[in-house]
Structure 1
Amino acid sequence: MLRKTIGYFVRAGIAAGVLLSAATANAVLIADEYTGAADSIYTQHLGYSRDVIGGPLYEVYSMNVDTVGTVMSVTINTDFIATDAANTGGYVAGDLFISSNGWNPYGGGAYDFDNADNGEDWEFAYDSDLGALVALDDGSTINILSDLEGECCRLGQEVNVDGGSDTGAGISYSGAQASSSGIWDYEYTYVFDYALLGLAPGDDIGFHWVMTCGNDVIEGVYSIPSAAVTEPGSIALLALGLVALGVSRKRFV
């Protein structure tokens, strides 16, 4: 009886390990290779192609995009946090802008002349204040950095949104979580159901994010996987688990 009981737990443990190991490999790291236009005399003086303005506090390194089923997570990797003493302007994290028809920036290279006037038309935004993913319709206002706001840096960029129709797709937003990457300091994560935005596997989805001073913008595109991809290591572990199940059955049953 004892040997049968031990055998049961061995098999159960191996099976659980097999299930946990068969993880999807849908995660993509999108590096910050986007600069964007800078319609400001101050920025022009620094150089159009300067990616980060205002010091390392405003550095945006990359974004991680991942899917599990129709749930998508987008994590912005940055050194920025509003409570930093060096943030004398009181700037905060912007909203995540989303395009449901891919990503179509103006120009090429680092897109040094791409801005709100000539670049991608964003259909949705994850409003960080509301914790809701909204459609950018007639009832919404996209806030764009302009000289009228007294900004000095990367003007002409979308930073956040007011209003808009709640799509019901938003699941959660986590702002300024400490990172264990050893590279960037903080992570901002947006989680939503892409199917409620009319998207399906095989579609491309575009993203845009920046803090409200516009000192470092990141944009990029993610292709929704047509099917879950199993990591090679998981396949080997799965096979090993199945063999172990067979051995344990012979030994204990």
Structure 2
Amino acid sequence: MTINHTSLNNGFVSLVGAGPGDPDLLTVKGLRVIQAADVVVYDRLVSKEILALADTSAEMVYVGKKLDFHCVPQDQINQILVEKAKEGKHVVRLKGGDSFIFGRGGEELEELAQHGIEYEVVPGITAAAGATAYAGIPLTHRDHAQSVQFITGHVQKDGREIEWSSLAQSNNTLVFYMGLKQSGHICDKLITHGLAPDTPCAIIENGTRKEQRVITANLANLPRAAKTAVSPALIVIGSVTKLSEPLQWFNNNFEAIS
């Protein structure tokens, strides 16, 4: 069902995933919603090309985050969304990748629901799917991996450790978001729980963008490889990463760390 935003007294919020970087990966619905927005509340990783799609009369509100620095704390972002919607405006909350995969989209919708504000969700291509596709890495492959797991490299909110023993399976592909700073910890924990030190890995820097760079290594060398990479970057662990160079199609910016 399509909601008629203009009929809502308290405005409306569209939670939109902008995709992993390449502006052509924005969905058709995402484009339509952005063009109709009165206010666009956007994150750091949303490209300039996508921001330019908004109407020139739209209010643009930057609330970007990066590691160890939050331009606007999450509770204030929630408050901005509520206040703008209560002004009767159509607000687009624009996030890189997909809003429901390590994007705190669920937290923001919970706040809107508590204030009785209506909303919709427009999914985006998450970085794990987009960046690996552009790097020539299939997340699953009959000869390499029967499953894939997405994990955040950030410390969990309640301080709990990840279930490392369940991750250290040789027929699994692991994708760590925001994991550069924790690469040493990731390496140590996986090896301790049984994953072979020579397990192939890749770091995809600026995935799907023209500056994309792929760094290949093995698990034991992952921390050294991570020191050569810059954010935004994904860490991919598993034998599927061996396919990156032979299946590459997007660019030839590869580096191997031995």
Instruction: Decide which structure has the larger Cα Rg and report it.
Output: 1
- Is the helix fraction higher in 1 or 2? 2
Q: Which has more strand, going by share of residues?
A: 1
TM-score by length of 1: 0.23
The alignment's TM-score, normalised by the length of structure 2, stands at 0.23
